[in-house]
Structure 1
């Protein structure tokens, strides 16, 4: 009996030895230590600030920020005599445009976060130039006709794109530098958005494009930040009412509860059966607008809680849709579309902001962290921001959305990237949080953001 048992043990030992040798001889196709496509690391405040400085330097380098003669190329300093060839010097940093509005708002925000006065100086320099030369361009139009170019379409706006985002940035700068020359431009934009822009019967802002009556998710950002900041500037709470109304009534047509996302657009003719396309940047515009309202509009104001619910719901959905690289896809629910920079920066900012303000739980910290790490890989050595989807209309086919181009020339990525970096600095400096950091080279290690007040003192 004992002899038989010994034989069984010996046989089992031989089998185990053979199996071990066979396993060791095999070459695994997998690695035990994760191989992250984007660095899974904890950034430093100084590194982020240096990155923001680099992005700003590149952005500013695209333009001389001045008025030139378009034929001779010479700088115009004498604004007493009309000149039909006068134009704003070309370049990203000289545009009276919604994308430059995001950049200038981000500059103002970076000044808040870092106390770097040069960022506020950037915004003041631009808006001072606009305010001081706007009357000159008006003289040129009187002398040579309405086709003479100036600061975009100012003062005869055709769409929210022409004025909302950029004038919101002007208000923010005015609240710091007090340049009263800005006020006529601010009031002109307020008049356009409140009284001249197309609206539905219930007051929802709309366009005659591409269908005769259409609503764009983009227009939430093209109007709401201005309206919210106009309320802050004037103390007139009707602007807060309109800002909240735009979000909630746009949501009635565009927000899809099952997805917790916004459809890019809606047309009155297609109504309840309008096709749905969940474009990344459209959702980015939407959530950034919600952040603006939640920050500016006082707690308890009617409708603010509903905006908070939409914001929190979107964050929940976005966390699950983030790719394993930290990016989000150009079409959020289509994983075979490319990984896009501007929406990734927008969501990173909005989520980090929510944690810092206490609007959402701190457990979302790694979503913001990995989002920033992803965006950081798209910032080139010279500060250009790559991988941003080009300007995109409200379309009705996936083929169009799937094949959108992306480049450093799509200026929609610069402002969100600056905003995301600034908010990540705040998150890194958030004294209410403790972060258990992932260990480099570990088989199983991640980031855990913890609220210090929930844990007993060590």
Structure 2
């Protein structure tokens, strides 16, 4: 039964279908959105058919949509992506960001029972658990293409690798993976969540003992908003579990700050606390999804629904007739000052498409 708004269920699913159609056809033939990394390599941040976190988040949104609708064409496109990329002769570089492809692959293995996926899932899990460099105090070092980022922790890590390790721990019955993931959450909260506001800094470096430019970057914060309810769903802990209560305390502190800084448009700014920075839709989608999911799962109360629905309506208003989500910032490395984030160019990006898909899927639950 529809609870809010005037859009119908068919219109909503049609919009999601359009977002996914746009997503799977994204490419960057001119290299406009490419990123040059520390070793000089050029990384394709836009194309769906390139193995990077950008397409990995896209695949995850598609898998969530398939799980809800059972649309065979969506599953077929996910399978095709892995057929095209997983079995090639040239191995993909393992790093924090490329790890997120294993999150969807774990769900795909459960869906299809295809045992050809298992060696890859095991290999990547072993790399993350045993070989990934750690920071001082044992944090997951945010290793990316071409850059080890020594002794650095970034909030993106929770979505790209920590959630993935948790899922792999569940698939393989490996409690060590799960306990490590829990430890990583606590470490990231300790060093990245601001005690004064409840918002999250983009990163922390043990080298200089600071939060780089001390930026409350929108999309970085939205990874946290997405991942905490996702993580708790996977853990399936008792309601009175102390670890869960601690994570929800952190989560609610962030949500209270987000309510304060939401723009009148329903979007958030790319620097959450800086209205002179541009509004940014991928972060908005992440906030909408995480907050609405947490309400639906009763992790938080209904007082966060209005904020989430305002964001959903803003997203719908910013999807064009080709399914492209406007106001999405490009790939964003660590900024040394807050001004850096204001100049990241905007484009239609795969993760923007997918994060909007996640938000609209969660809203779609209200029509059943």
- TM-score scaled to structure 1, two decimals? 0.71
Aligned counterpart, 2:283: 343
Q: How far apart, in 1, do the equivalents of 2:153 and 2:25 lie?
A: 36
How much has 1:416 moved relative to structure 2? 0.5
Residue 210 to residue 101, structure 1, CA distance change in 2 (3 Å): closer
SS in 2 for 1:385: coil
Aligned counterpart, 2:351: 412
Q: How far apart, in 2, do the equivalents of 1:312 and 1:91 lie?
A: 32
Where relative contact order (Cα < 8 A, 6+ residues apart) is larger, the structure is: 2
How much has 1:46 moved relative to structure 2? 1.7
Aligned counterpart, 2:38: none
SS in 2 for 1:320: helix
Match of 2:25 among 53, 61, 81: 61
Q: How large is the RMSD of aligned CA atoms in angstroms?
A: 2.3
Q: How far apart, in 2, do the equivalents of 1:128 and 1:210 lie?
A: 29
How much has 1:282 moved relative to structure 2? 0.6
How much has 1:397 moved relative to structure 2? 1.2
Residue 90 to residue 226, structure 1, CA distance change in 2 (3 Å): closer
Q: String of CA shifts for 1:114-160, please: whole Å, max 9, x gaps.
A: 232322222222223334x33xx1xxxxxxxxxxxx4xx52x42x21
Larger Rg: 1
Q: How far apart, in 1, do the equivalents of 2:46 and 2:136 lie?
A: 39
How much has 1:292 moved relative to structure 2? 1.8
Alignment of 1:294-313 (within 5 A): 294-300=232-238, 303-313=243-253
Aligned counterpart, 1:178: 113
How much has 1:386 moved relative to structure 2? 2.1
1:422 and 2:361 aligned? yes
Residue 130 to residue 230, structure 1, CA distance change in 2 (3 Å): same
Match of 2:318 among 360, 375, 378: 378
Residue 191 to residue 412, structure 1, CA distance change in 2 (3 Å): same
Aligned counterpart, 1:52: 16
Judge conservation of contact 2:292–2:305 (CA < 8 Å) in 1.
Answer: yes
Q: How far apart, in 1, do the equivalents of 2:82 and 2:139 lie?
A: 30
Alignment of 1:210-225 (within 5 A): 212-225=150-163
SS in 1 for 2:204: strand
Residue 57 to residue 337, structure 1, CA distance change in 2 (3 Å): same
- TM-score scaled to structure 2, two decimals? 0.87
User: How many residues are matched?
Assistant: 344
Q: How far apart, in 2, do the equivalents of 1:324 and 1:299 lie?
A: 37
Q: How far apart, in 1, do the equivalents of 2:150 and 2:135 lie?
A: 12
Aligned counterpart, 2:258: 318
Alignment of 1:30-429 (within 5 A): 41-62=5-26, 92-131=47-86, 133-134=87-88, 137=89, 150=90, 154=92, 156-157=93-94, 159-162=95-98, 164-207=99-142, 212-271=150-209, 275-300=213-238, 303-408=243-348, 410-429=349-368
Q: How far apart, in 2, do the equivalents of 1:160 and 1:273 lie?
A: 19
Point out where structure 1 has 5 or more consecutive residues left out of the alignment: 1-39, 64-88, 138-149, 430-458
How much has 1:284 moved relative to structure 2? 1.0
Residue 107 to residue 391, structure 1, CA distance change in 2 (3 Å): same
Point out where structure 2 has 5 or more consecutive residues left out of the alignment: 28-43
Residue 296 to residue 280, structure 1, CA distance change in 2 (3 Å): same
Judge conservation of contact 1:260–1:314 (CA < 8 Å) in 2.
Answer: yes
Judge conservation of contact 1:42–1:369 (CA < 8 Å) in 2.
Answer: no
Q: String of CA shifts for 1:298-340, please: whole Å, max 9, x gaps.
A: 2146623322222222122212211111001100010111110
Alignment of 1:443-458 (within 5 A): none
Q: How far apart, in 1, do the equivalents of 2:308 and 2:185 lie?
A: 24
SS in 2 for 1:266: strand
How much has 1:169 moved relative to structure 2? 0.9
Alignment of 1:13-28 (within 5 A): none
Q: How far apart, in 2, do the equivalents of 1:248 and 1:415 lie?
A: 27
Q: How far apart, in 1, do the equivalents of 2:78 and 2:142 lie?
A: 30
